[in-house]
Amino acid sequence: MTAAAASWSGARALVTGAGGFIGSHLVERLAREGADVVAFTRYTSQSKRGLLEMVPAEILEKVQVIRGDIRDADAVESAVRGADYVFHLAALVGIPYSFLHPTEVFDVNTMGTLNVLNAARGSSPQRVVITSTSEVYGTARYVPIDEKHPLQAQSPYAASKIGSDAAGISFFRAYGLPVVVVRPFNAFGPRQSDRAVIPTIIAQALTKDRVRLGNLDATRDFTFVTDTVAGFLAAASASVYGRPLNIGSGFEISIGEVAQRIIALTGSAAPLEVDAERLRPEGGEVDRLWCDSTLARELLGWQPEVSLDEGLQKAIAWVSEFRDLYTPDRYAI
């Protein structure tokens, strides 16, 4: 079991990227724990709240939702003011998208983090949690991957997150800002869009006579989203500063094998096919990711609790219920 965190009751917690997949689950968990949650989401003219709309109404009504752009330093400063804890998740996370729009991705992911850090310097929160990604490691040089593994950007997205991580750690070293970097490995679960591979497989297995994917041989370390969120909370409440911490299951599986598991769990007979459109550019594919989360286990008392098959069943149930949110005929980037 994950070690018990400090009480969140009455703590003011800001979550940027609150309308995203992990962000919405983090907001929900914090609100259930009694925190005074401020959810920062990107402004749209339709005043949409993203995946926060999927949070139960009785929980969401306790959350203060504010809208802005992480690239707007004034908006970020206003959101951070008065926060005891800052969870920074706002980012453009689409890896294929980053190949097409690298400038925008760096602007949001790296400069957006800088805005959060500068705002936090003026507000003095108890903790700033910066969200990283396992993609910063690139294809594993050794496995399992610990935090000492070299950083190898194989996409503009990964490079932008390396910059974000470095900024956060530098603000701890230079200014004493209480920063910790959480580095999740391939979170999955309910609410995830078909930009990610597991819901893509599920949506196709449920509706199509074949499942079309990119590289079937690449391996990943999939971690259920509630375990990922528990890692964020543990990182925010432990006396750990100025370093990255891996959050992953410690279980490596190929995309092809996870697809076969999903096909079996859905009762589909769809064959797997490689779709060239879904392959990353040459040199951009991360072939192997396998997490060593020893530090998180030792320093945070964290460990995953949801098995891959249990998590897949929960994800399948979600996609089945909200099938209209998915477009299995289209390659989402």
- CA nearest 289: which of 251, 240, 262, 316? 251
CB-count exposure of residue 33 (10 Å: 0-12, 13-18, 19+)? middle
Structure tokens at 282: 């040459």
Question: Is residue 136, in this structure, part of any structural domain at all?
Answer: yes
Question: Is residue 196, in this structure, part of any structural domain at all?
Answer: no
Q: Assess whether pLDDT exceeds 80 at residue 47.
A: no
CA-based Rg of the chain, rounded to a whole angstrom?
19
pLDDT value for 333: 82
Active-site amino acid positions: 157
Q: What is the mean pLDDT of residues 164-189?
A: 98
Question: Is residue 96, in this structure, part of any structural domain at all?
Answer: yes
Q: Are 91 and 17 in contact (CB under 8 A)?
A: yes
Structure tokens at 202: 């599920």
Domain assignment of residue 47, given as a range: 12-189+223-251+284-306
CB atoms within 10 A of CB 330: 9
Q: Assess whether pLDDT exceeds 70 at residue 6.
A: no
Q: Assess whether pLDDT exceeds 80 at residue 316.
A: yes
Question: Is residue 232, in this structure, part of any structural domain at all?
Answer: yes
Question: Is residue 259, in this structure, part of any structural domain at all?
Answer: no
Q: Kindly state the DSSP code that residue 151 receives in the 8-state scheme.
A: P
Q: Is the pTM of this model over 0.75?
A: yes
Question: Is residue 260, in this structure, part of any structural domain at all?
Answer: no
Q: Is 189 left (phi over 0), alpha (psi -120 to 50) or beta?
A: left
pLDDT value for 178: 98
Question: Is residue 123, in this structure, part of any structural domain at all?
Answer: yes
**Average pLDDT for the chain:** 95
pLDDT value for 5: 47
Q: What is the mean pLDDT of residues 269-274?
A: 95
Helix (H, G, I), strand (E, B) or coil at 88: strand
**Number of folded domains in the chain?**
1
Question: Is residue 134, in this structure, part of any structural domain at all?
Answer: yes
Q: Are 38 and 79 in contact (CB under 8 A)?
A: yes
Sign of the CA dihedral running 268, 274, 278, 284: positive
Q: Assess whether pLDDT exceeds 90 at residue 105.
A: yes
Residues 6+ apart with CB under 8 A from 58: none
Q: Is 66 left (phi over 0), alpha (psi -120 to 50) or beta?
A: beta
Query: pLDDT tens across 107-143, in order?
Result: 999 999 999 999 999 999 999 999 999 999 999 999 9
Q: Assess whether pLDDT exceeds 80 at residue 8.
A: yes
Q: How far apart are CA 83 and CA 124, in angstroms?
A: 8
Q: How far apart are CA 280 and CA 299, in angstroms?
A: 36
Q: Assess whether pLDDT exceeds 50 at residue 2.
A: no
Q: Find the CATH number of the domain harbouring 142.
A: 3.40.50.720
269: phi then psi, degrees, rounded to nearest 5: -115, 15
